[in-house]
Structure 1
Amino acid sequence: MSEARRKAAPPRRHKRHWAVRVLGWLTALGCLGIILGTAAFFIIYQKTRIPDGNVAFEANTSTVTWANGTRPMGTFYDQNRTSVPLKAIPKRVQDAILAAEDRTFWTNPGISPQGMARAAFNIARGEQLQGGSTITQQYVKIMYLTQERTASRKFKELFIATKLSRQQDKSKTLEGYLNTIYFGEGAYGISAAGEAYFRKPDPNKLTVPEAAFLATVLNNPTLFDIDVKANHPRILQRYRYVLDGMRLSGTITEAEQTKYAKALPKLNKKPKSNKYKGTSGFLLDMVRRELLKRGYSEQEIESGGYKIVSTFDYDLQQKMVTAATERRPQKRDNLHVGMAAVKPGTGQLVAMYGGPDFLKNQINWATAKARPGSTFKPFAVAAAIDEEWNPWERNLQGDSPIEVQGQEFNNEFSHDYGVVDLVDATKDSVNTAFYDLVDKQMENGPSKLVDAAEKAGIPKTTVLEKGRENPATVLGPDPYASPVDMANAYATFAAEGKQVELHTIKSITDRKGKVVWEDKKLPVKQAFEPRTAQWVNFILSKVVEDGTGDGAKKLDQPAAGKTGTAGGVGFEHRKADAACGGCKAGTDTLTSWWTGYTTTMSTAVIYRAGTIGESDLDPYSKDPAFFGGNWPLKTWMAFMEPALDGVSETEFTEPPEDELEDSPKPPPPTDTPKSPPPATNTPTPTNTPPPTTNSPPPNTNTPKPPETPPTKTPGRPTITFPTGDPDPEDPPPGEGGGGGGQ
């Protein structure tokens, strides 16, 4: 057959690409999913019933007990609510709330698609759900559901909010919301909020700025707690956001917005509830703050029905209050004591004294950060031991002055100790030896010191982190720590390097009886090698045996600890100091410490003076200065003796025997301390060196030398003070003590 007569081949059929087929299937499945999803939505919607109002919202009191779990400490319930009709709430107040929380309230279907998408995204990431985005959703959560953060609760909220928005007039929803939403300060609803913050229970009397402020805080009463100074910038930012929304809605003019946005309105808050009265008010406040830290909202704390077992031991607390109020100087006006006791190896704060009455003064002197002075030196000891430093080697400069980064620093009264080892440098608190150790001999010494402090449990703060570049960090010249912090950090050494997060709550049980949190689950970290902690304990026990803290020998239990003072210019002297160009620098004692511990209890004591704790302590003592080895140690003893009564005596584990065998050798004659210069008309004091026998105390009439905190005035010597004359009621100590920053 010829080529021409062949039958033409049929055209070739092209197969569709596999990707096109997959896309088609996906499209079909997607459409089916939308159909099924829509059907499911309408089925669930039809079956959804709006429940009765949540009466549990009214008052599920959260209670706090002492550590034994049975003795009541107090409650958080302080619900203040007075309902008012919507017509009694002026439009400016309504608009402020809408501008803050839901600007499309009058037109939206009760839910926010954006909020739903955010909730779905958070669920997919395994994160906690956000609160309701619309006012309707928030109202549903308060009145009909619970505060739990679960996917099922969130979806219930969405369906009920949608149905409520269709079946109930928006005005009624807004009225219910304005009478139930939590504003902080125990205030539920706009009437109670006006009374709590401005003493105005009638919403008609609220001004535009006051309404805008209330709309600001209701968004998150914790984040926008006006009593916390650090919150003020974000409060002002949110307040201006609310005013801008009011301008956009036409409630206020642009000129009014500009006028009101300059500052927050002046508050006129109601006094705190009597539940915070007395010394226990500080304990309740700390428990509340920890609940907030652990993710509980103010509303959950107030009315969640939780039972909270605190770490505070009732008997120990009574002993601490007695010590802090009775064993202190006779002159007491504007003199403050802060105390804290921690059980080593647990992180449990078992007793705390923050002040006599929380309602009268809410500054907690046990948690307020302060200059720790020489109580920071043990962290340098720990850092040095970690660096394999030989504690017995005499290689530290004990003479004054020492030059660091072009600045000269001295010991107290410019006293000379010769070449010293780490044990004696700590025992006698020799400033220059620690400057030599941290700032000259250890590579990156200040940074390693900060690392050691933070490992022990001192909270990481901006001020402390700046100490990594500060040549004076080892003498704690800045507010690095509070008594609570120091007690927990020293407890780490007592527990042979084991560190647990400081806390005030043992367990939390919900209203159904389920334990939802307990401190047994807190991790126990080995912050330091046992050998490091053993050496720190050994060296600090020498401070008690014959150093600046030898008054603690009366405890009749193996104890260790460190004194500390921080000098500067008292608040009342700062104008004069500025006028004379710094002539008063270092003449005042601003903080005085004793932090001491046994194997079973770590307790820190601080003394401060003045309204803000920045006044001179020296007028409160008969000593040349307010020494840590005097009143702070006496107050510590007044607590620790009864607290440890009946507790078995336990020795600290000693460092490795072969290292202890390398005992110190008698120093050569050239290393003996030099006597201070004779008396002159200069401000340098003329007291004798610290005695090595029971010699009479130094002359208390000796003038005190100027002192400059190392970081404040470069080039001037830092002067700190030794333990001075004992109180007349006590026998003279065996050692007068000697190092700086005591």
Structure 2
Amino acid sequence: MSEARRKAAPSRARRKKHWALRVLGWLLALFFLGVIGAAATFFIGYQTTDIPDPNKQFQMNTTTVYYSDNKTVLGSFYDQNRQSVPLSQIPKTVQDAVIAAEDRTFWTNPGVSPSGMARAAFNIARGKQLQGGSTITQQYVKIMYLTQERTFSRKFSELFIATKLSRQTDKKEILEGYLNTIYFGEGAYGISAAGDAYFSEPNPQKLGPERAAFLATVLNNPSWFDPDKPAAQQRILERYRYVLDGMRLGGTITQAQYDKMSKQVPTLDKKEKSPRFKGTKGYLLAMAKEELDSLGYTPEEISGGGLRVVTTFDIGKQNEAVRAGVNELPEKRKDLHVGLASVRPGTGELVAMYGGPDFLKSELNWARLRARPGSSFKPFAVAAALKDGRSLYDTFQGDSPIEVQGKELNNEFDNDYGEVDLMKATKLSINTAFYDLVDKQMEDGPNKLVDAAEAAGIPKTTALENDRNNPSTVLGPNAYASPIDMANAYATFAAGGMYTPVHTIKSVKSPGNAKNFKQEDKYKPERKFDKVIADQVNLALKGVTEDGGSGERAQKLDREVAGKTGTAGGVAVEHRAANAKCDGCKDGDDTLTSWWTGYTPQLSTSVLYRAGKTGEGDLDPFSDDKAFFGGNWPLKTWLAYMEPALGSSEEVKFDEPDPDALNSPTPTYTPPPTTETPTNTPTSPPPSTPNSPPPSSPPSTPNSPPPSTPNDPKPSKPTKPTRPPITFPTGPNDPPGGEEGGAEDPGDGSNQ
């Protein structure tokens, strides 16, 4: 190697090192410039920001809730209960509990939290709302001097004002102001009002460390830590223990006290709810309040933010829903519950709801509580089959029983129907045909059924997901849906396959238009099924209301109606002890739920009947039928609402299915060899002419009981229906009561 080349090599290495140092230098320079810029920005912002006058709007600002007409007042959320007390009358245990919960460095920090600021910056970078990490001083500033809006500019104003306030004001004064203005839920602002609301004790000196820790727990987020919500109990306990642990670390309580207090939260002694929630309106207001929370409105804004809230509830239809739910019931009514929900197809608007007679007497909303849908789940099987390439005229086993996964499953009353097509199976609600379709003929049928149900609008719950391989999923053995869920899911078919999330808030207008909301911003229609499929589902469910169908009473509406009945059988809570003693001899004897969900293109309404304090009682004693069928009282209640709700409005008919979609029958069922003559004659194939209407099933079959009419004399109580003793596990979304005992095959009535 030449001397020149030997000298060139180290020269290139020095150049690389030189450039690396230059890049590092530039990076360091940019970093320091950023630090200097941030410091300068903060200094300028600090110097130019003045502490404003206290927020006058905090004193009183009622949120008013309107019906959908934006004129008629439904109610209000203003319930501002506040009584200020000096810090000298607030015990140290109460002060320490709040500090342990919200800001453990309160006495030493500069009024802001560096970690909270970093988290806020991170959220800004991710395009999310600002949240969390605020010190007590920052929270106090937000309440007294600023709005609740979570924006970049408001957050920085909060930081500057909090820093300046912390430097210019005694910490004790800040803490006193905070303890007298912070929102604890239940309409309570300040520690005195909170003690009164949760423990009927307005004197903070009588609260004690356990109650103080509980109040410090809920103030963090009154909606999330609402003790009225069953789902919140565990998180309340965990947060309560966190607060107690902070009190222990701060020396407020001893380890022994912590060990004793942390076992459970203190017993509440809550005051009665405001009379503005009395009656049926309370259920509507509670739903609206919960939805406002889900839309990002804080408890403070909801309770006293001066919002103008317009709901989707139509006052005329709501009045009719209440009349139907109160009046159109059997004579025997003690512990009988009705849930009714009505949704406008294509919009997701919940226009009417009946959840119970009086919210103040019972907060259980029977229109929202999920229950076993029984045969009300079959329309989703029809949709899944059509999506899978099946036809309404494919044929299936109608005889009872049918064997699925080694189990014998039956029709109601063990009736036989021979070979039936899907139209007739839907019209007469023939269980074995749907078992044959979903569990034997369709590959991965139960899974496809669940997909179709969730696409239509049935919530994705643990109970439903766990039943993706259940041989009885098509008959809804577990608590899958509420009347609200079912009305909106059927509305998807009414809207030609377009799903819109069900909701109760139409619009929100805030003071100064700082935080307005319109339903079209969030609740948008989305195609879930091809219109060709939806039209065929509508055709099949229209057949249910024809002569001989399980929902033939719906003809009284004198409009085109589609719908489906449903009953779910099991062991009622009052019979479970006896059933355990006799080793399951009562399995399937009782009717636990009874449904009718029917719809026109304009309105989809679901009615559910349940019995017993927890909704797990036997419905059969309330009816003179063989069982409490959905085609009887649920449909009567539905009619009592739908007739006046639709009133004189123009009749809108369903679109006829595309003739090309109504395929010729495919022989999917081969009857087993037998010497017995089939009880029923198979249905005829569809007409060969494309434009001819599809065939309807005969009005009745030899083994089907004659349809009853409202004027029929009351017969003696017939024998209970035959239901197979199959037990399936229940899930966490099952209705209240706790002791489920298994949901047997809820075989629907062959003609119900």
| Structure 2 counterpart of 1:97 | 98
| Structure 2 counterpart of 1:592 | 594
Query: Any conservation in 2 of the 1:135–1:177 contact (CA below 8 Å)?
Result: yes
* 1:523-578 residue CA offsets vs partner (Å, 9 max, x unmatched): 21111111111111111111101201000111100001111111111111111111
Alignment partner of 1:703 is 2:704: no
Please state how far the C-alpha of 1:585 moved relative to its aligned partner. Answer: 1.2
Query: Any conservation in 1 of the 2:288–2:505 contact (CA below 8 Å)?
Result: yes
| Structure 1 counterpart of 2:350 | 349
Which amino acid is the alignment partner of residue 430 of structure 1?
I
Alignment partner of 1:333 is 2:347: no
Give the % identical residues. 61
| Structure 1 counterpart of 2:321 | 320
| Structure 2 counterpart of 1:435 | 435
| Structure 1 counterpart of 2:398 | 398
Distance (whole Å) between structure 2 residues aligned to residue 501 and residue 137 of structure 1: 37
Which amino acid is the alignment partner of residue 390 of structure 1?
S
Distance (whole Å) between structure 1 residues aligned to residue 640 and residue 247 of structure 2: 59
Please state how far the C-alpha of 1:383 moved relative to its aligned partner. Answer: 0.4
Distance (whole Å) between structure 1 residues aligned to residue 535 and residue 635 of structure 2: 23
Query: Any conservation in 2 of the 1:487–1:595 contact (CA below 8 Å)?
Result: yes
| Structure 2 counterpart of 1:466 | 466
Which amino acid is the alignment partner of residue 635 of structure 1?
T
Q: Kindly tell me: are residues 455 and 717 of structure 1, through their superposed partners in 2, closer, same or farther at Cα, counting changes over 3 Å?
A: closer
Q: 1:690 aligned to 704, 725, 738, which one?
A: 704
Q: Kindly tell me: are residues 514 and 205 of structure 1, through their superposed partners in 2, closer, same or farther at Cα, counting changes over 3 Å?
A: closer
| Structure 2 counterpart of 1:486 | 486
Which amino acid is the alignment partner of residue 69 of structure 2?
N
Query: Any conservation in 2 of the 1:291–1:301 contact (CA below 8 Å)?
Result: yes
Structure 2 residues not aligned, in runs of 5+: 1-9, 682-700, 730-740
| Structure 2 counterpart of 1:576 | 578
* 1:129-169 residue CA offsets vs partner (Å, 9 max, x unmatched): 01452111111111111111111111111111111111111
| Structure 2 counterpart of 1:265 | 266
Please state how far the C-alpha of 1:22 moved relative to its aligned partner. Answer: 2.9
* 1:413-454 residue CA offsets vs partner (Å, 9 max, x unmatched): 111111111011111111111111111111111111111111
Alignment partner of 1:672 is 2:679: yes
- What secondary structure, in the 3-state scheme, does the structure 2 residue paired with 1:105 have? coil
Distance (whole Å) between structure 2 residues aligned to residue 177 and residue 693 of structure 1: 68
Q: Kindly tell me: are residues 386 and 29 of structure 1, through their superposed partners in 2, closer, same or farther at Cα, counting changes over 3 Å?
A: closer
| Structure 2 counterpart of 1:159 | 160
Query: Any conservation in 1 of the 2:728–2:743 contact (CA below 8 Å)?
Result: no
* 1:245-272 residue CA offsets vs partner (Å, 9 max, x unmatched): 1110011111110111111111111111
Q: How does 1:491-510 map to 2 (within 5 A)?
A: 491-510=491-510
- What secondary structure, in the 3-state scheme, does the structure 2 residue paired with 1:180 have? coil
Please state how far the C-alpha of 1:661 moved relative to its aligned partner. Answer: 8.0
| Structure 1 counterpart of 2:186 | 185
Query: Any conservation in 1 of the 2:570–2:742 contact (CA below 8 Å)?
Result: no
Please state how far the C-alpha of 1:44 moved relative to its aligned partner. Answer: 2.8
Query: Any conservation in 2 of the 1:413–1:721 contact (CA below 8 Å)?
Result: no
Which amino acid is the alignment partner of residue 719 of structure 2?
P
Query: Any conservation in 2 of the 1:406–1:715 contact (CA below 8 Å)?
Result: no
Which amino acid is the alignment partner of residue 648 of structure 2?
G
Query: Any conservation in 2 of the 1:401–1:717 contact (CA below 8 Å)?
Result: no
Query: Any conservation in 2 of the 1:585–1:708 contact (CA below 8 Å)?
Result: yes
| Structure 1 counterpart of 2:240 | 239
Query: Any conservation in 2 of the 1:409–1:716 contact (CA below 8 Å)?
Result: no
Which amino acid is the alignment partner of residue 707 of structure 1?
R
Please state how far the C-alpha of 1:33 moved relative to its aligned partner. Answer: 4.1
- What secondary structure, in the 3-state scheme, does the structure 2 residue paired with 1:291 have? helix
- What secondary structure, in the 3-state scheme, does the structure 1 residue paired with 2:621 have? helix
Q: How does 1:612-623 map to 2 (within 5 A)?
A: 612-623=614-625
Alignment partner of 1:107 is 2:114: no
Query: Any conservation in 1 of the 2:429–2:748 contact (CA below 8 Å)?
Result: no
RMSD: 2.5
Please state how far the C-alpha of 1:472 moved relative to its aligned partner. Answer: 0.7
Please state how far the C-alpha of 1:27 moved relative to its aligned partner. Answer: 2.9
Query: Any conservation in 1 of the 2:312–2:505 contact (CA below 8 Å)?
Result: yes
| Structure 2 counterpart of 1:307 | 308
Which amino acid is the alignment partner of residue 576 of structure 2?
R
Q: Kindly tell me: are residues 112 and 347 of structure 1, through their superposed partners in 2, closer, same or farther at Cα, counting changes over 3 Å?
A: same
Please state how far the C-alpha of 1:705 moved relative to its aligned partner. Answer: 4.8
Query: Any conservation in 2 of the 1:555–1:641 contact (CA below 8 Å)?
Result: yes
Which amino acid is the alignment partner of residue 254 of structure 1?
Q
* 1:380-423 residue CA offsets vs partner (Å, 9 max, x unmatched): 000001112121132x1111111111111111111111111101
Query: Any conservation in 2 of the 1:470–1:711 contact (CA below 8 Å)?
Result: no
Structure 1 residues not aligned, in runs of 5+: 1-10, 675-686, 723-737
Q: How does 1:171-320 map to 2 (within 5 A)?
A: 171-320=172-321
Q: Kindly tell me: are residues 564 and 694 of structure 1, through their superposed partners in 2, closer, same or farther at Cα, counting changes over 3 Å?
A: closer
Query: Any conservation in 1 of the 2:342–2:351 contact (CA below 8 Å)?
Result: yes
Alignment partner of 1:548 is 2:564: no
Distance (whole Å) between structure 2 residues aligned to residue 50 and residue 345 of structure 1: 50
Query: Any conservation in 1 of the 2:593–2:610 contact (CA below 8 Å)?
Result: yes
Q: Kindly tell me: are residues 599 and 171 of structure 1, through their superposed partners in 2, closer, same or farther at Cα, counting changes over 3 Å?
A: same
Query: Any conservation in 2 of the 1:592–1:606 contact (CA below 8 Å)?
Result: yes
Q: Kindly tell me: are residues 423 and 706 of structure 1, through their superposed partners in 2, closer, same or farther at Cα, counting changes over 3 Å?
A: closer
Please state how far the C-alpha of 1:32 moved relative to its aligned partner. Answer: 4.1
Q: Kindly tell me: are residues 295 and 513 of structure 1, through their superposed partners in 2, closer, same or farther at Cα, counting changes over 3 Å?
A: closer
| Structure 2 counterpart of 1:677 | none
Distance (whole Å) between structure 1 residues aligned to residue 169 and residue 514 of structure 2: 36
Query: Any conservation in 1 of the 2:625–2:717 contact (CA below 8 Å)?
Result: no
Distance (whole Å) between structure 1 residues aligned to residue 742 and residue 77 of structure 2: 53
* 1:578-620 residue CA offsets vs partner (Å, 9 max, x unmatched): 1211111111111111000111111000111111111011111
- More off after superposition, 235-244 vs 515-524: 515-524
Q: Kindly tell me: are residues 572 and 22 of structure 1, through their superposed partners in 2, closer, same or farther at Cα, counting changes over 3 Å?
A: same
Q: How does 1:640-679 map to 2 (within 5 A)?
A: 640-660=642-662, 662=664, 670-673=677-680
Distance (whole Å) between structure 1 residues aligned to residue 75 and residue 746 of structure 2: 46
Distance (whole Å) between structure 1 residues aligned to residue 262 and residue 275 of structure 2: 35
Which amino acid is the alignment partner of residue 611 of structure 1?
K
Distance (whole Å) between structure 2 residues aligned to residue 523 and residue 469 of structure 1: 32
- What secondary structure, in the 3-state scheme, does the structure 2 residue paired with 1:545 have? coil
| Structure 2 counterpart of 1:445 | 445
- What secondary structure, in the 3-state scheme, does the structure 2 residue paired with 1:469 have? coil
Which amino acid is the alignment partner of residue 477 of structure 1?
P
Tell me the TM-score normalized by structure 2: 0.89
Distance (whole Å) between structure 2 residues aligned to residue 240 and residue 350 of structure 1: 42
| Structure 2 counterpart of 1:631 | 633
* 1:154-207 residue CA offsets vs partner (Å, 9 max, x unmatched): 111111111111111101100000011111111111111111111111011112
Query: Any conservation in 2 of the 1:194–1:206 contact (CA below 8 Å)?
Result: yes
Query: Any conservation in 2 of the 1:224–1:231 contact (CA below 8 Å)?
Result: yes
Q: Kindly tell me: are residues 160 and 659 of structure 1, through their superposed partners in 2, closer, same or farther at Cα, counting changes over 3 Å?
A: closer
* 1:640-686 residue CA offsets vs partner (Å, 9 max, x unmatched): 11111211122211212245585899x99944339xxxxxxxxxxxx
Tell me the TM-score normalized by structure 1: 0.90
Alignment partner of 1:375 is 2:389: no
Distance (whole Å) between structure 2 residues aligned to residue 46 and residue 449 of structure 1: 64
